[in-house]
Amino acid sequence: MRRALAIWQEIGDPAGTARALFGVGLVFQVLRRDWAAAMPYFWPSFGLAEAVEESGDLYGRSEIHRHLGFYYLVEDVRPEEAVRQLGYSLALREKLGDPRRVPSALVALGEAEMAAGNLQRAVGLLSRAVTLAREADLLPWRIQDAEESLRQAEAALSAAS
């Protein structure tokens, strides 16, 4: 992956460079669970995210915003910034028009809204995620994940009332 990054940088392709930076960052974040090693790749990828969208890759840009949102949700805990980044990711996935990509974005945004204390909004987003996951006939574990997040948000809302 680092060789691909070097090639994209060498030929001066900003969209390719962004995707490669993001890919290397994913290895550290997802496989190694090492945010400190991932962020030096994610930040410049984020800086080049517009080039990714201009190349026609809405999903790629959505993923960049998604993982930056996760960073603000679980590592550098700033729920409002997580909501902002995950909201961008959702908007891009909706623009993409693939109904299979929207439920997971709704779950992530709903969880960020919960962390930010916006429980009513979280319940609405997660309820929509469950409905869309079922309509898209996603894998059972994906539907169950959305349902569990919805139950948690409803319980938190009920406890807050």
CATH code where residue 126 lies: 1.25.40
Domain match, 85 and 116 both: yes
Same domain for 155 and 92: yes
Q: What is the pLDDT of residue 1?
A: 78
10, part of any domain: yes
Q: What's the CA gap between 34 and 50, in Å, rounded?
A: 26
106 and 153 share one domain: yes
Note whether 93 and 14 are same-domain residues: no
Measured between alpha carbons, how far is 52 from 116 in angstroms, rounded to an integer? Answer: 29
pLDDT digits (tens, 9 = 90+) for 19-45: 899 999 999 999 999 999 999 999 999
Query: Total structural domains in the chain?
Result: 2
Q: Same domain, yes or no, for 81 and 50?
A: no
Residue 98 lies in a domain: yes
Same domain, 82 and 161: yes
User: Do residues 50 and 84 both lie within one domain?
Assistant: no
* pLDDT at residue 7 in the model: 86
Whether 4 and 43 map to the same domain: the answer is yes
Q: Return the pLDDT at 16.
A: 85
**Owning domain of residue 9:** 1-56
Contact call for residues 19 and 52 (beta carbons, < 8 A):
yes
Residues 112-145 have pLDDT tens digits of 999 999 999 999 999 999 999 999 999 999 999 9
Is 120 part of any domain?
yes
- In DSSP notation, the chain reads -HHHHHHHHHHT-HHHHHHHHHHHHHIIIIIS--HHHHHHHHHHHHHTHHHHHHTT-HHHHHHHHHHHHHIIIIIS--HHHHHHHHHHHHHHHHHHT-TTTHHHHHHHHHHHHHHTT-HHHHHHHHHHHHHHHHHTT--HHHHHHHHHHHHHHHHHHHHH-
68 in a structural domain: no
pLDDT of residue 157: 96
Residue 88: predicted pLDDT: 95
Please determine, for residue 2, whether its predicted confidence score (pLDDT) is greater than 90. no
Measured in degrees and rounded to the nearest 5, phi and psi for residue 99 equal: -65, -15
- The pLDDT value recorded for residue 11 is 87
User: In terms of Cα–Cα distance, which of 76, 8, 65 is closest to 36?
Assistant: 76
Please indicate, yes or no, whether residues 159 and 87 belong to a single structural domain of this protein.
Answer: yes
Q: What is the pLDDT of residues 58-93, one digit of tens each?
A: 898 999 999 999 999 999 999 999 999 999 999 999
On whether residue 85 sits in a domain, the answer given is yes
- Predicted confidence band of residue 17 (pLDDT cuts 50, 70, 90): confident
**66 lies in a domain?**
no
pTM, whole model, 2 decimals? 0.90
